């Protein structure tokens, strides 16, 4: 369960009934709301059972919403060093086209035991296209039956070739779920299931909090409460930067996912909240000076895990644990900020498991939807991103006129 521990008390003139009502009126177009009842986890698990007998490594080829949410949950539940543990199913998420990173990954992969999950809702993501073409060539060089090494997650309206449909496992992403809201579809659930994460537990977490996230009572609806506070501080005190500050390094990638969710959804029409992320206690010693004494243009959202999976004592008398010290450090940071009049919203997670991590991300998705209503903007498009894609494609076709031929074998 996620809860607000402390938060500023606000006097606002927004109407929770109208905000939630507007989202409910768009419910059919906002597939993330009811993904708990539309996603087919059994289909995913059946496929995973069939491939883990032969493959011990999965590489996700995707970028943005096709990668960030998956990495956030993977690192939260499995930790940063999971792939170094002998004998486990490994997951790598390649969300870059940097030569050095791709070369480094290629050096450690046993391609005969590696499968690739190619994710592109639009089917036109040039980075994912190029990744697929490259790794297809690598696998083809060692395997005659190379097609079993690849599966695809594409938009339901994607017109794939008959060869792709007949020869590969394809999972479809509903048209009413945007990429940055897609982590609880096959986009995230497929790779997460590959490493043994309980995807039914994730979905159960959504179902357990959906009623609250749709409540018109702000005291029951954390997502709505967060949205109203963010909007209030933006409008009344020019707090146009939001710092997500979890006190757990395992939650660091949640901040990276949240940055896309907030920036790409709200940053348009001349308005926007700039997202930043920090990790306690690490960034107390790198960023806190700015936050404490720099421009007062920030709203902070801190997060702590109430119950750790283990207990490590610092002193020989077993009176002080690392967990206790972490909580005291968090209290010190929050108090010093509040003493300067800086708004801090303190969130708490009962424990770090599938149910709770899913609820955290689900709350943030609803928060962004409600924030879009408050700003009176469409939180579900990204016209600025599309502009750069058009220019990039034009430049590619100008410099490499045979580009379409190179990618002909997989028209994503």
Residues taking part in catalysis: 264, 285, 389
Closest of 30, 327, 374 to residue 233, by C-alpha: 374
- The CB-side HSE value for 53 (13 A sphere, CA atoms) comes to 6
What is the enclosing helix (H) or strand (E) of 345? strand 344-351
**How many Å apart are CA 247 and CA 185, to the nearest integer?**
28
**How many Å apart are CA 180 and CA 66, to the nearest integer?**
7
DSSP assignment of 87-142, as one string? TS-EEEEE----HHHHHHHHHH--GGGEEEEEEESSS--HHHHHHHHHHHHHHHTT
| Tokens of residue 32, six digits | 């993330």
Angle at 131 between CA 129 and CA 137, to 5 degrees: 105
**How many Å apart are CA 358 and CA 360, to the nearest integer?**
5
**Is 306:350 a contact under the CB 8 Å cutoff?**
yes
Q: At what angle do helices 252-266 and 68-78 cross, to 10 degrees?
A: 160
What is the enclosing helix (H) or strand (E) of 25? helix 16-25
β-bridge mates for residue 155, sequence order: 173
Burial class of residue 25 in the structure, from the number of CB atoms within 10 Å of its CB (0-12 exposed, 13-18 middle, 19+ buried): exposed
> Most distant CA pair in the chain: distance in Å?
72
**How many Å apart are CA 243 and CA 13, to the nearest integer?**
25
Q: Is the peptide bond preceding residue 330 cis, with omega within 30 degrees of 0? A: no
Q: Which residues contact 264 (CB under 8 A, 6 or more apart)?
A: 180, 382, 385
What are the angstrom distances between the C-alpha of 100 and each of 80, 97, 271? 20, 9, 37
Look at the block and give the residue holding tokens 């059994």: 42
Mapping DSSP to helix (H, G, I), strand (E, B) and coil, where does residue 163 land? helix
């Amino acid at each position: 369960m996620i809860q607000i521990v402390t938060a500023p008390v606000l006097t606002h003139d927004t109407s929770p009934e109208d905000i939630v009502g507007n989202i409910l009126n768009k419910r059919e177009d906002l597939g993330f709301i009811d993904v708990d009842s539309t996603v087919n986890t059994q289909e995913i698990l059946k496929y995973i059972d069939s491939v883990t007998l032969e493959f011990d490594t999965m590489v996700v080829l995707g970028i943005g919403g096709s990668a960030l949410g998956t990495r956030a949950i993977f690192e939260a539940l499995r930790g940063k060093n999971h792939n170094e543990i002998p004998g486990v199913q490994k997951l790598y998420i390649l969300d870059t086209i940097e030569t050095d990173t791709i070369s480094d990954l290629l050096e450690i992969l046993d391609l005969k035991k590696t499968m690739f999950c190619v994710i592109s809702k639009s089917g036109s993501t040039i980075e994912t296209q190029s990744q697929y073409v490259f790794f297809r060539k690598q696998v083809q060089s060692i395997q005659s039956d190379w097609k079993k090494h690849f599966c695809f997650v594409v938009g339901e309206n994607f017109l794939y070739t008959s060869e792709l449909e007949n020869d590969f496992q394809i999972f479809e992403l509903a048209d009413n779920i945007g990429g940055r809201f897609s982590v609880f579809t096959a986009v995230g659930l497929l790779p997460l299931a590959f490493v043994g994460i309980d995807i039914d537990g994730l979905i159960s977490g959504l179902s357990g909090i959906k009623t609250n996230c749709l409540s018109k009572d702000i005291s029951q609806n954390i997502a709505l409460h967060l949205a109203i506070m963010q909007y209030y501080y933006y409008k009344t005190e020019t707090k146009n930067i939001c710092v997500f500050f979890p006190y757990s390094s395992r939650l660091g990638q949640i901040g990276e996912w949240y940055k896309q969710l907030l920036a790409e959804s709200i940053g348009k029409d001349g308005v926007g909240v700039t997202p930043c992320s920090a990790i306690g206690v690490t960034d107390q010693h790198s960023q806190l000076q700015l936050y404490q004494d720099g421009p007062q243009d920030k709203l902070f959202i801190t997060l702590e895990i109430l119950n750790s999976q283990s207990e490590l004592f610092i002193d020989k008398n077993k009176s002080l644990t690392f967990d206790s010290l972490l909580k005291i450090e968090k209290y010190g940071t929050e108090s010093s900020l509040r003493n300067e009049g800086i708004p801090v919203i303190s969130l708490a997670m009962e424990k770090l498991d599938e149910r709770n991590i899913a609820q955290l991300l689900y709350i943030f998705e609803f928060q962004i939807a409600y924030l879009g209503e408050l700003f009176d903007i469409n939180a579900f498009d990204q016209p600025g991103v599309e502009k750069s894609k058009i220019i990039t494609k034009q430049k590619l076709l100008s410099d490499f006129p045979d580009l379409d031929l190179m990618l002909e074998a997989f028209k994503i």
